[in-house]
Amino acid sequence: LEIDGEACGGIGVQPGSGERRHGATLGYWLGRRHWGQGIMTRVVAAFAPWVMDELGLYRLAAQVMTGNPASARVLLNNGFTEEGLERQAVLKDGMLHDLRCFARLRAWPPGS
């Protein structure tokens, strides 16, 4: 992501493979000075349906640390549903953190 010619964030997916090839995991980040402006909500609104169509995905998953409610709102505001909690999943700054798990689904089989 670029604002006024300056890199300020990013978004991408890690596609699944084998029996999980119908899905991908979404990841994104945004520089702190751009928080609270709805930027990432708008980016995910454009990116999620595009990448699902482009890659033929039926499941787009994402995880956010429990201490990041703004990121959870980005997902909830873009049609993701909270599916659960992955406890002590991330070791950051010498501490274990839980992850909230979200997904956005498309109907299977196609056309149903």
What's the whole-model pTM score?
0.90
- pLDDT tens across 34-47, in order? 999 999 999 999 99
The token pair that represents 99 in the structure block: 């992850």
SS3 label, residue 15: strand
- In this structure, whether the domain defined by 2-105 belongs to CATH 3.40.190.290 is answered with no
Distance CA 85, CA 98 (A): 7
Under 8 Å between Cβ of 13 and 21:
no
Hey, what amino acid is at 59? R
- pLDDT per residue as tens digits for the range 84-105: 999 999 999 999 999 999 999 9
